[in-house]
Chains A and B, each alone.
Chain A
């Protein structure tokens, strides 16, 4: 069986270094138009390197051909379905690339005088306002570069908040379903992680939370819906418990796609929210970034926001009318400081802003409605097809925008694991769902279709899973040896980790 999405190029792709030949070149410098001074005069030999870096020596056509051929060894979202739970792989509108490339945005230097970057600052201001409205928290910083960067910002904001009140707390609570970035962030922010359990309905265990929510706890990090794709029905009680001990409530916005225009984390009582602009707001994933992770906070956290903040100022009326302009405000005495250089990933803001303007209020609400509809529909189709007998839903509830299945029965009865099912899906030109996460589900499969998929795509996915299960009953080896038809087959990850080769030897 051939996967139709990739065109079979050569079996073994050379690296760009292997294509090099001494003397070949793609670059020609502009003409030297100033008097040439001896190198030794400008840069003493003691500071100079003996040999230039051994970069490739290739002409332009070969570079283009090389990277084009490499691209054809990649599966991608524009080509096929990515039901990756927790990732929100929705369509990336092409308009966004056009507007992001406008020179007024793309060629704007970050240290340009704010008076001459009013378009950029206005765009950031409006994006902040929109994110504030979507989250229900009024004060936004666009600075963090990704979700985990936003998480670090949020926990450092919490630290500053407590220290400002003269309190030193040492612990942060995270559910056992938390994404790995949450506990990693907690340690990076200098706190101790305490795990809170999940009950039999897939909600945070309120008893366990009550026991662990002491006055030594700085914060509870939560996402809602959870990483199981389930709405925390006890969220109002959670808020009471956490605020009751003076801790802050942090919202990991990875699952925002389920609730835009439906409900808001600010209204649930969260103090700090981070957004993943590369999830709900269509910044393309780029094979691992860039993204952006802005934060929105409640009034009591506002003083600690990173520096600088984009602000709106009104100058004194010169002749009757005050002039509104936008600025970068550095005068923030209680700010936690900076988390990165300049203002953040502005190119990502341009795309996210274009998306919000394209969809508007009703469009964003529809995004969440269809995301949740699609997930429930897919779950229902899988149930009707009998798939859930081998891959039962982890919790027997209406899901939100994603749902978790357990591959444990499939492993027992058909002798194929979640990993094997995932690899067999690759042969059918579909990216597998998220596997082995959340950790509390055995042989987990986390499926998030998103709202931009058609019903036909979802039907086909269900049929593929049925087919793979049926095939496994007859011959489990097909899945266990899968994939068969991709540019490479299963790779020896143990060897790669034991004796890592992380660069080309030259």
Chain B
């Protein structure tokens, strides 16, 4: 009996240690990725990277200024398209909705959220590229914006719902109409959460590559206006990583570092904003 107990205790200690090892291994991947990118990207990054156009094939040097600007334009368009739909849709769900319509909207949003990004790419290609017969920044922004909608919608709704009931009742007792209550009480009370939701949605699409291959495509030069194909950081990383040139590999590392840095900073910022406000469960 005693040896059996000792065995059980040993198994317990061993298995619990193993779970700790699993956790450490999983988390260490993050630091490995960061360290590797810092090492390889840090040595390849230079002022030229941010200011120069890609050099012609075969020449070393050059940078990714057009891809950085391109990513900025794409993300701006995506935000302008996705965030209003998500935000106002969430207001409908949280304040006016209920019943079957709200259920259908939520269901559609969850469905959209689960659609693989490559399928979003097909959709945007069929809708915004084929009819016009050319790739464009607009089509890319449309694809990324589509992906922002469900994330913004569902989290904003959660945060709006988390606004205490007393606040609504207080406003209405003062005679405010419902939309006045929403505009001047509910949305301001939930603004930290809403901002977090938007930032997280932004960070999520900032690194998306697959839909951009079919929509924004890529460009080795500046892309004037919104109606031309444009370079973007994620697509550049992809094209440069699978290329045979060492100099392009170095640039891919640098672009990877810039992109990952941007995404992680936005993520940390978003969580910082949230944790300083009322904490709300985000499940």
A and B associate = no
